[in-house]
Structure 1
Amino acid sequence: MQVYFIGIDIGTQGARVILVDQQGMLVASASRSFVLDERSREEQSPTIWWNACEKLLDEILNGLSADFDKSAIQAVSVTSTSGTVIPLDVNNQPLHNAIMYSDGRSAEQGKRIQKIALRHVKDGYTGFNASSGISKILWFMERYPEQRGRIALWIHASDYIVGKLSNIYNTTDYTNALKSGYDVADLKWPTYIIDELGLKKEWLQKVVPSGTVVGLLQEGLATRWGLKKIKVVVGMTDGCASQVASGAVKPGDWNTTIGTTLVIKGVTRNQVIDPLGRLYSHRHPEGYWMPGGASNTGADWITVDFSSDILQWNRAAEKLIPTGKIAWPLLQEGERYPLMAPQARAIAPEQVSKSELYAANLEGVACIERLAYEIIEELSGEKVAAVYAAGGGSNSEVWLKIRAAVLNVPIYKCKAASGALGAAIMAASKTYYSSVTEAVSHMTIMEKEIFPDMELVAQYETQYQQFKEELKTLNYL
């Protein structure tokens, strides 16, 4: 029997809604861009998000064929940006626009909070900054003290859509709560948030594992869309939802997304504590840990210098690897992960053709990726078993081949590693399946499996060690 799940993704620029079955097969999808103003990086109206969701759900659910069994739709969940927060009044109405993760006005509050957190939290997350929800909450309290008495609850972006669907606003999940100060190791709100920052206990949400059912679809919405009162599942941050959609949910599984930057997220049995602050860990719904970090290295150099005919460059690279050249295509100044080197600059080999430079740059990014995983293995004491690839960088066959050989692990590319699919998987994880691991095993479709070419592995081992030596010579490592 076919059953179905709805995934909703609220991004910075727009919303996407998908309907998939229990095998992850897409039944319908729709997306809509938001009409935003020049302040959209700082604040956005949650009403705009909900209006877009309603229209997209109208489009999908009212557009299904007459013989489609809507009673087989089981659950819905939501993903959205991490660190975006909204103050609600006693009627669950926003007192202010959503304060976006990208709003830099709370930088000073973030620094203060980090100092306080370091005194109280031994091994948990303390990397608060302007992008953290707790920093924005404190900024709002100090910027609008007259609103303090009207605040009934602070929520996150995905919580708002979950609330509009279910009328339950007081529950969030581990991934959203992390940057609002929740201690995901001890599973509680730390006392310093109340005692030193001045928040009220009643403002803080109940925090549950991702995938938890928080309520049922409101009756009016169920009638509008011809649905039963389906289950509404707590939301998840966009980065974690994309990791879930990539397939990387078991201990030893890792996801590398290569877009403008390189983002690594994975699963370990034990908490990864990085004294340098390059990595931080979310809590997995099954009690594991989901460490991650973001590099300034990525595929932006391709957009700048090689976008004219990417297929041509990839065909040329296939004939040139391994190049034996040391390259690092770092466009901006400084690196944050796996190196903390604000003085770092790009490394470019001399006297090479443009095709050779392209191939060497692909290898250089793979070397940065391997260094990142070496640090993860060192800090966690656990081995990286497989890497699940996502982002624009995963579309290059030759790059996947290089990366598999440099990392010496299998690389898997999921057919559709989107945040909306991640939300749909979370909707299914405790309503139809027994866990997120089981849901992922059925709902992700692997498009490619790339296993290391052992001849290339040996050649790249030498080149990688030379790469590390160059970083040490330059005092980057």
Structure 2
Amino acid sequence: MSKYFFGLDVGTQGARVVLVDENGELIASDSRKFQLTDKFREEQSPSVWWNDCEELLTGIIQNLPTNIDKQDIVAISVTSTSGTVIPLDSNNQPLHDAIMYSDPRSADQGQRIKAIAEKKIKNGYTGFNSSSGISKMLWFVETFPEKAEAISLWVHASDYLVGKLSGNYHTTDYTNVLKSAYDLEKLEWPNYVTEDIGIKDSWLQNVVPSGTVVGTLKTDLAEKWGLQDLKVVVGMTDGCATQMASGAVKPGTWNTTIGTTLVIKGVTKSNVIDPLGRLYSHRHSEGYWMPGGASNTGADWISMEFSDGLDQLNESAEKLIPTAELAWPLWQEGERYPIMAPQARGFAPENIEREKLFAANLEGVAFIEKLAYEIIEELSSEKVEAVYSAGGGSNSDVWLKIRASVLNVPIYKCKEASGAFGAAIMAASNTYYNSLIEASDKMTAIEKEILPDQDLVEAYKIQYQEFKQKLTELKYI
């Protein structure tokens, strides 16, 4: 008999639920856009999240295929945004709306916490800023001292939903606590959090490996849905969940997600310490490390300038590569990874035809990706063996070909690489399977394998060095 797993993904603008079997086959899915206020990037209502998620789950359960026995649904897990936090009272009710990761109001607190952490921590994460959960906690305490007196617990976005499902609000996972100042080397809350920042011990959660079962479905929900003994698995951050879904869960494997931005995450045997703060490392549930970074370079330039006739542009690019042109489609000012250059601006050849510029821009993003992986290999002393690809950028076959040839490693595009699917893998990792790696092996499927084109490999070696020289001349590196 097949077994089934729910994955729940709550993002900035909506929620998605999937039900998959032990082989990763999608059985059912549904999604919903949130009714958002003008301040949705600063604050959102956790009640709205839960109400929508409960309705989505109810709809899927009520409309299950007739051949599925509800008792074969084993577990559920949740993914949500990193750095979003909620203060709860003693009854686990929010004292305030969720303070979103994208809320910039805690910039001052982030700077102060960063300065404290740099004095206290030698080789751990100190990259705190306005997007960090710990910064938002301090901002709230300082801004609303009267409400702070009633705080019983701080939770992250996915933790709140796990709590609504299981009643356990006090447990979180390795990925959620990175930006809340938990020490992932020593696996403890460092003293400076309470002694120097002023966050009370009693406000902090217990931290367990991602994939840990933290409870079973609450009685009222179990009766409503007809699900007995459904296991609830601790949540994780959305970027890490997407990495799980991509298949990049073993040492030496990496995931590049090209959406609006370019996000790289991978697995190494040892912690990767970047003195410049471009990379940061999550803790893998099996003791490895998951370093990663996010670039401002991505695919936003396509939607801004090349959305018309995209199929034709991809066909033309296939005939034009290698272009021997140097282009960098950085749509905004400033880059954060793989180079830290707040003054950086994109560039392109003058008087170049539209089709060739499109192809050169595809190459430019691949060169940024190559530079990122060079830095990773240098810092980790470990070899990048393969790259698993996700995001809208993976839908372009010619772009996959360019990237495989620039990186000179195989690129694998997985059949399903969403946060919700990653959450379902986490739900199965220690309830049906024995580990995250085993669950990923069994549940992910490679849709395409793209090998380097050796003629392009040689041409891109030259073009890539010219690209780096251009960045050097512009004083970006």
Question: What's the TM-score once normalised by structure 1's chain length?
Answer: 0.99
Aligned-pair CA distance for 1:68: 2.0
Q: 2:456 corresponds to which letter in structure 1?
A: L
What secondary structure sits across from 1:331 in the alignment?
Answer: coil
Q: 1:206 corresponds to which letter in structure 2?
A: N
CA–CA separation in structure 1 for the residues paired with 2:256 and 2:462: 23
What secondary structure sits across from 2:268 in the alignment?
Answer: coil
- What's 2:467 paired with? 467
Aligned-pair CA distance for 1:262: 0.8
- What's 2:346 paired with? 346
Q: 2:340 corresponds to which letter in structure 1?
A: M
Aligned-pair CA distance for 1:352: 2.3
Which consecutive unaligned segments of at least 5 residues does structure 1 have? Answer: none
What secondary structure sits across from 1:233 in the alignment?
Answer: strand
Aligned-pair CA distance for 1:350: 2.9
- What's 1:358 paired with? 358
- What's 2:161 paired with? 161
Which consecutive unaligned segments of at least 5 residues does structure 2 have? Answer: none
Q: Residues 74 and 431 of structure 1 are in contact (CA less than 8 Å); yes or no, is this contact kept in structure 2?
A: yes
* Bigger shift: residues 70-79 or 322-331: 322-331
Q: Where does 1:39-50 land on structure 2 (aligned, <5 Å)?
A: 39-50=39-50
CA–CA separation in structure 2 for the residues paired with 1:8 and 1:321: 40
Matched, 1:150 2:139: no
- What's 2:249 paired with? 249
Matched, 1:456 2:449: no
- What's 1:181 paired with? 181
CA–CA separation in structure 1 for the residues paired with 2:246 and 2:403: 17
- What's 1:195 paired with? 195
- What's 1:434 paired with? 434
Q: Residues 175 and 210 of structure 1 are in contact (CA less than 8 Å); yes or no, is this contact kept in structure 2?
A: yes
Q: Residues 219 and 229 of structure 1 are in contact (CA less than 8 Å); yes or no, is this contact kept in structure 2?
A: no
Deviations 1:250-283 (A, max 9, x none): 1111111111111111111111111111111111
* Bigger shift: residues 142-151 or 274-283: 142-151
Aligned-pair CA distance for 1:407: 0.2
- What's 2:229 paired with? 229
CA–CA separation in structure 1 for the residues paired with 2:362 and 2:38: 36
Deviations 1:28-85 (A, max 9, x none): 1111111121121111111111101110011000111344211110000000010111
Q: Residues 283 and 289 of structure 1 are in contact (CA less than 8 Å); yes or no, is this contact kept in structure 2?
A: yes
CA–CA separation in structure 1 for the residues paired with 2:36 and 2:298: 28
- What's 1:26 paired with? 26
RMSD, aligned α-carbons: 0.9
CA–CA separation in structure 2 for the residues paired with 1:344 and 1:133: 28
Q: Where does 1:122-161 land on structure 2 (aligned, <5 Å)?
A: 122-161=122-161
What secondary structure sits across from 1:215 in the alignment?
Answer: strand
In 2 relative to 1, CA 65–300 (structure 1 residues): closer, same or farther, beyond 3 Å? closer
Q: Residues 218 and 229 of structure 1 are in contact (CA less than 8 Å); yes or no, is this contact kept in structure 2?
A: no
- What's 1:308 paired with? 308
Q: Where does 1:57-456 land on structure 2 (aligned, <5 Å)?
A: 57-456=57-456
CA–CA separation in structure 2 for the residues paired with 1:218 and 1:466: 60
The sequence identity of aligned pairs, in percent, is 69
Deviations 1:224-272 (A, max 9, x none): 1111121100000001000110111111111111111111111111111
* Bigger shift: residues 63-72 or 50-59: 63-72
Q: 1:55 corresponds to which letter in structure 2?
A: E
Q: 2:45 corresponds to which letter in structure 1?
A: S
- What's 1:37 paired with? 37
What secondary structure sits across from 2:5 in the alignment?
Answer: strand
